[in-house]
Structure 1
Amino acid sequence: MAEENNLSFILNKPFDVSFSERPKPTLKDPHDVLVAVNYTGICGSDVHYWVEGKIGSFVVEKPMVLGHESSGTVVQIGSSVTSLKVGDKVALEPGIPCRRCTACLSGKYNLCDDMIFAATPPYDGTLTGFWVSPEDFCYKLPSHVSLQEGALIEPLAVAVHITKQASITPGQTVVVMGAGPVGLLCCAVAKAYGASKIVSVDIQPSRLDFAKDFAATHTFTPSRVSAEENASNLLSQTGLGQGADAVIDASGAEPSIQTSIHVVRRGGVYVQGGMGKPDISFPIMALCAKEITAKGSFRYGSGDYRLAVELVSSRKVDVKALITKTVEFADAEQAFKDVKEGKGIKILIKGPNEKA
């Protein structure tokens, strides 16, 4: 952990990555800590930047370090740090808000206009040797929670926030569109919240098999038919009757979104968690006629990371089950290729200073 190098995995332009030594960061604020990054998961947004060089208005205009789903070990603390010490294992929350705007002061810091978020242009990410973070955006991991599990706290926090938006209570029925990492974790969080029926929807049989073993009570494979027909088939095959209490779209796919609105019961809740095309055709008449409460969900807010750590610590959510494999830092590009090709659920990259 004491090595001075800060080897980083850098995106230069679409499909053009390289390894480069960057200056080791230094503590400039007494409340900051220096963390040696141990593990980083690959997210869909990381792959999107690698392939497209942009997401919406966020465009990679200069070389950028990738990665934002990370855990690490504290190697240095600022003079005012009280909650952490050298040697602590931590999950890193990769977005630092301004803490002063209306959104931040109201507890919705994920909506901060001045958010500094890892691997979102123009800011570098966490696929690097060392990372500086404010102490309150580092979450100490209990001794029985591994650093590998710590790297999955970030996607779990996303799922926690989405599921909070759905206002799920014990005994309710939930449908989750998409069985990628976030969709699977939404199923797991809904189960932890006490949902009685959880339906995972995807077009990949292997992902649905995993979902059934992981947290879903039912699965459904959509067909190439209309959204209304897919919704009708889903409701009849899963015994949801007039519809689900809550439907979460974690896919961003237009057909899934359209089907979702027809699956929600009258007066139910729909949450958009997945991001797809900027504009889609949307069944607005069904939304109005059923008085559906529709919500967006963006990253995570106050309390979401702490709850994610608690869910892992208490073993209510088994994030380790999602880890397909762990690769060396030198194999990062191949890991990105594997994720793009849909191989496995979650691939972790060891930090360049991780020797275990």
Structure 2
Amino acid sequence: MTETISDTMRASVMTGVGTLKIEDRPVPTPGAHEVLVEVAAVGVCGSDVHYYRHGRIGDFVVEDPMILGHELSGRIAAVGDQVDPTRVGQRVAVEPQHPCRRCKQCMAGRYNLCPYMEFYATPPIDGAFCRYVVIDAEFAHPVPDSMSDEAAALLEPLSVAVTTMRKAHVAPGTSVLIAGAGPIGVICAQTARAFGASRVVVSDPLESRREAVLRFGATEVLDPMVDDVAALDPQVDVFIDASGAAPAVTSGIKAVGPAGYVVLVGMGSGDYPLPIGHIQNMEINVTGVFRYTDTWPAAIHLVASGAVDLDGMVTGRYDLEHVGEALDSDTDPASLKSIVVPS
């Protein structure tokens, strides 16, 4: 350790479904190749909310008390023996994952698919609704002083959007349809425009969210309760689902033209029918997104250059005592991104 740091820290701990408790936890000690980060800001993600309300996401089940939160930024407070000590004091955005680096997926460069992955706030790994965390040194990405702590924390969901655009082959002139104008849908709309998309259509049943996404990159909006999304004319090159709703996925795929791309981002039900005939006849490429690999440099550039506005998406700020309110803030249609400040 390279600074005088308390042995304990305050943390907001999920002790059961819908239950949180402030606890004193030991401050983690960085391993040889790790850094200790003093957390500055943590974004609230839909997965945090899902664990809080349901205690599980698919096969990931919360069985023991766990700290939520995985979208974070902070300052390096200490470093391990094999890390450059001059990094102490550096402002960073944290890529919240620890792959094994030895399995087939890691060796192929797909470390997001590592079967031995330790990912923040995914059972049984603790997250960042606390004062300090440790992470592999190379996953603590330096950010420019011009970037706020809040924007640096939201580089994590922006990384999901960067991965999505890469998988969708979005390029200058591409037309994109996005289902869902929640936080990920809005970030995807901005990122699509930053990647050169000339047409970004966003579908959402809530008028307030349709109005919001028009301020963040959308060129058109649709109300799926009124408009026939499947009959979109002209058809789009890319469909991105950020809703997880089966009807939205079905209609969105049908709106894609020949040789187009479909990327499934939203968390929905495990199984639902797809329009196989349309997929086959149009030779549509369908894939999913599970986290990210090597996206923080691109995300940092997009924010630092002004191509993506993350600060403007922050609609609520909470301390550790009010994490429950932060997790429930998604019930407000006007809410986009809530931030927890652990200090």
TM-score bin, normalised by smaller chain:
over 0.9
Residue 272 in 1 paired to residue 264 in 2?
yes
Question: How many angstroms apart in 2 are the aligned matches of 1:277 and 1:267?
Answer: 26
Cα deviation for residue 339 of structure 1 reads 2.3
Counterpart amino acid of residue 119 in structure 1 = A
Of 39, 47, 50 in structure 2, the residue corresponding to residue 48 of structure 1 is: 50
Tell me the equivalent position of 1:216: 218
Deviation by residue 1:184-243 (Cα, 9 ceiling, x = unmatched)? 111111111111111111111111111111111111111268xxx4321xx24xxxx2x1
Alpha-carbon separation, structure 1, partners of 2:92 and 2:85: 11
Question: Does 1:16 find its partner at 2:19?
Answer: yes
Closer/same/farther in 2, CA of residues 342 and 13 from structure 1, 3 Å limit = farther
Letter in 2 for 1:338: S
Counterpart-to-counterpart distance in 1, 2:175 and 2:84: 43
Runs (5+) with no aligned partner, structure 2: none
TM-score (norm 2): 0.96
Q: 165, 170, 173: which is aligned to 2:172?
A: 170
> SS of the residue aligned with 1:271?
strand
Q: Distance in 1 between matches of 2:285 and 2:103?
A: 27
Q: Are the counterparts in 1 of residues 71 and 153 from structure 2 also a CA contact under 8 Å? A: yes
- In structure 2, the partner of 1:231 is 230
Structure 1, 334-343 or 42-51: larger mean CA deviation: 334-343
Contact 1:37 1:73 in 2 (8 A): yes
Aligned ranges 1:14-163 → 2 under 5 Å: 14-27=17-30, 29-82=31-84, 85-163=87-165
Residues 208 and 334, structure 2, Cα contact 8 Å, conserved in 1: no
Contact in 2 for aligned 1:223/1:230 (Cα 8 Å): no
Distance 1:343 1:316 in 2: 23
Moved over 6 A (4+): none
Q: Residues 177 and 239 of structure 2 are in contact (CA less than 8 Å); yes or no, is this contact kept in structure 1?
A: yes
C-alpha separation in 1, matches of 2:316 and 2:325: 12
Deviates more, 1:80-89 or 1:321-330: 80-89
Distance 1:180 1:306 in 2: 24
| Number of aligned residue pairs | 340
Amino acid in the other structure paired with 1:206: S
Cα distance, 1:342–1:99 mapped onto 2, change above 3 Å: farther
Establish whether residue 290 from structure 1 lines up as the match of residue 293 from structure 2.
no
Distance 1:342 1:224 in 2: 19
Question: Counterpart of 2:307 in 1: which secondary structure?
Answer: coil
Quote the Cα distance in structure 2 between the aligned partners of 1:22 and 1:41: 21
RMSD (Å) for aligned C-alpha atoms: 1.5
What amino acid is aligned across from residue 274 of structure 1 in structure 2?
G
Moved more, 333-342 or 204-213: 333-342
Query: Which digits, 9 at most, give the CA deviation of each residue in 1:92-113, with x for residues without a partner?
Result: 1111111111111111111100
Question: How has the CA–CA distance of structure 1 residues 217 and 84 changed in structure 2, closer, same or farther, with 3 Å as cutoff?
Answer: farther
- Between 14-23 and 84-93, the greater mean CA deviation after superposition: 84-93
TM-score (norm 1): 0.92
Alignment check: 8 A CA contact 1:84 1:135 kept: no
Structure 1: stretches of 5+ with no match in the other structure = none
